[in-house]
Amino acid sequence: MRTQSILAGGLVVGLTLVAGCGGPVNVQGKVVRDGKPLAGAQIVFVPVAGGQEAGDLTDEEGNFRLKNPKKFGLVPGEYLVTVSKMEYPPGMKVPGPHEMTMALTAKMRESLPVQYTTQDKTPLRVTVPRGGVTDLVLEIK
């Protein structure tokens, strides 16, 4: 009787692992605004069903490759996407790395429309397939 329970339990666990979403898959892409690459933007993918978020900072060409604190990639599924780009006000001298202070950081302002920067307003939704995606383009208007 105990052997049957152990075997049945093992079968359930094994089927759950096989039928589950699997491990993380590669997610890469580009963020553009008005058709031009958006450099220095923070992008975050938030799972609709809950779970581990992942993000990246776009490079000079607007490219990103998602990662979370443990690894690159995301588990396949549906995600809300937020994009934020903080900038200093026009005319303000941008401090160097050794001049940065909390007071100077507090002067930075969001440069993107608010609907892209918050989870409850973002129009950006992405379904990550089991094979991952390497050519995703996110358009900010």
User: Exposed (0-12), middle (13-18) or buried (19+): which is 45, by Cβ within 10 Å?
Assistant: buried
Give the separation between CA 81 and CA 73, rounded to whole angstroms: 14
Give the separation between CA 141 and CA 136, rounded to whole angstroms: 16
The pLDDT of residue 1: 55
Q: Could you report the per-residue pLDDT of 53-80, keeping only the tens digit for each? A: 999 999 999 999 998 777 888 999 999 9
Give me the domains of the chain, ranges plus CATH numbers.
23-140 (2.60.40.10)
The pLDDT of residue 4: 52
Within 8 A by CB and 6+ apart from 120, the residues are none
Give the separation between CA 31 and CA 102, rounded to whole angstroms: 28
Mean pLDDT by 10 residues, the chain (141 residues): 48 40 87 96 96 94 89 91 93 84 87 95 96 96 90
The pLDDT of residue 124: 97
